[in-house]
């Protein structure tokens, strides 16, 4: 269900204003390829070069700064969005990429400051955007048990661990009143159901594997949680957490996710130091012990979220500044 992916939604929002084709640099139909990363996209090189007869520019979306080999063959200007920012970046790779692209877009001011320290000047901040009109703060049904929403589903079996799914199932076992709702993407559904069954808490776990009105799901939960043990796993500002704040629901996340700084500053949720059952349990207990305070913080923070119309407008303005001439081969 690619339409459930946050980056795809952002791309489609841009394409609603600026026409263009989508090419996936990733060479496989399912996650888990062993094909060397530097060669991703070469399978489309002929089509990309043919497309250059009629397009103004290329826009690459990728978790981190990485100079794919295929980019060296492109002659039209390149805009590059590093959707998870530049936290654990290789400076030399970021500098090499910056020399090839016309503009490097990053999601947060801290990313831009890091690039400046690396003497990269062709960079700008364009935060992730959501359609805030889709969300409103709805009261919880009376008697709703403590419930968390998890919106960042794994693409690979390894991500059951690295995105904290296994930890959350363990936490549910240890906190007998806690309910979890997972939004799934049509990938590894059978494996998820197997793990839920093995957890022994199937009656408190819900897996939603269809496209849904997320605002209606948020109306059934107290808060949303996103976890990552790798700094390129999740967007710097996870869409599921932005949506939660837009609906007035607090968030939980670990320190590795850059949005943690905003959550601390706005007092709209709890930041977890390490992705372990003990740390997550402590954070969950703290959230519910102080829920009214964090709920009020979320209501306020949700009013200042960068919306998708602003994001699209920022990219359209960036595109309009691109010279449509072919680069020298």
Q: d(Cα 51, Cα 58) in Å, to the nearest integer?
A: 10
Give the helix ranges, DSSP H, for 79-212: 91-100, 109-117, 159-162, 165-174, 189-199
pLDDT for 188 equals 92
Classify residue 164 as left (phi > 0), alpha (psi -120 to 50) or beta.
left
pLDDT for 233 equals 86
pLDDT tens profile 260-310: 999 999 999 999 999 999 999 999 999 999 999 999 999 999 988 888 999
Handedness of CA 236, 125, 268, 132 (dihedral sign): negative
pLDDT for 199 equals 94
pTM of the model as a whole: 0.87
Q: d(Cα 267, Cα 289) in Å, to the nearest integer?
A: 14
Write down the mean pLDDT value for the chain. Answer: 92
C-alpha separations of 88 from 40, 60, 115, 126, 252 in Å: 21, 20, 12, 19, 22
Q: d(Cα 184, Cα 191) in Å, to the nearest integer?
A: 12
pLDDT tens profile 54-76: 999 999 999 999 999 999 999 99
Give the confidence band of 328 by pLDDT, cuts at 50, 70, 90: very low
Which residues face 225 on adjacent strands?
150, 252
Cβ atoms of 206 and 182 closer than 8 Å = yes
pLDDT for 231 equals 81
User: Is the per-residue pLDDT at 207 higher than 70?
Assistant: yes
pLDDT for 232 equals 83
Averaged pLDDT, 195-218: 95
pLDDT for 132 equals 87
Q: d(Cα 207, Cα 153) in Å, to the nearest integer?
A: 10
pLDDT for 240 equals 94
User: Is the per-residue pLDDT at 329 higher than 60?
Assistant: no
* CB < 8 Å & 24+ apart, contacts of 288-291: 288/146, 288/222, 291/222, 291/250
pLDDT tens profile 99-119: 999 999 999 999 999 999 999
The residue with greater pLDDT, 251 or 306, is 251
CA 318 to centroid of chain Cα atoms: 22
Q: What is the DSSP string of 52-79?
A: TTT-S-EEEEESS----GGGGG--S-EE
């Amino acid at each position: 269900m690619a339409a459930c992916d946050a980056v795809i939604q952002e791309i489609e929002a841009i394409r609603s204003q600026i026409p263009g084709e989508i090419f996936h640099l990733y060479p496989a139909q399912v996650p888990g390829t062993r094909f060397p990363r530097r060669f991703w996209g070469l399978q489309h090189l002929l089509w990309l070069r043919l497309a250059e007869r009629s397009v103004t520019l290329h826009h690459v979306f990728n978790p981190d700064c990485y100079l794919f080999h295929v980019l060296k063959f492109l002659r039209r200007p390149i805009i590059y969005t590093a959707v998870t920012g530049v936290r654990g970046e290789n400076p030399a790779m970021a500098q090499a990429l910056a020399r090839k692209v016309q503009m490097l877009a990053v999601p947060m001011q801290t990313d831009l400051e890091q690039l400046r320290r690396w003497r990269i000047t062709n960079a700008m901040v364009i935060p992730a955007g959501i359609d805030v009109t889709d969300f409103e703060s709805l009261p919880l049904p009376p008697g709703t048990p403590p419930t968390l929403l998890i919106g960042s589903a794994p693409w690979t079996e390894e991500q059951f661990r690295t995105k904290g799914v296994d930890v959350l199932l363990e936490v549910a076992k240890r906190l007998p009143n806690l309910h979890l709702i997972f939004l799934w993407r049509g990938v590894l559904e059978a494996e998820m159901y197997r793990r839920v069954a093995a957890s022994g808490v199937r009656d408190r776990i819900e897996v939603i594997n269809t496209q849904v009105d997320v605002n209606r799901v948020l109306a059934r939960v107290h808060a949303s949680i996103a976890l990552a043990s790798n700094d390129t796993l999740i967007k710097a500002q996870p869409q599921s957490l932005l949506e939660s704040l837009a609906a007035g629901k607090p968030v939980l996340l670990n320190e590795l996710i850059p949005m943690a700084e905003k959550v601390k500053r706005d007092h709209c949720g709890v930041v977890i130091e390490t992705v372990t059952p003990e740390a997550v349990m402590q954070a969950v207990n703290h959230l519910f012990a102080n829920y009214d305070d964090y709920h009020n913080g979320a209501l306020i923070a949700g009013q200042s979220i960068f919306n998708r119309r602003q994001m699209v407008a920022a990219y359209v303005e960036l595109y309009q500044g691109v010279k449509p001439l072919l680069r020298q081969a």
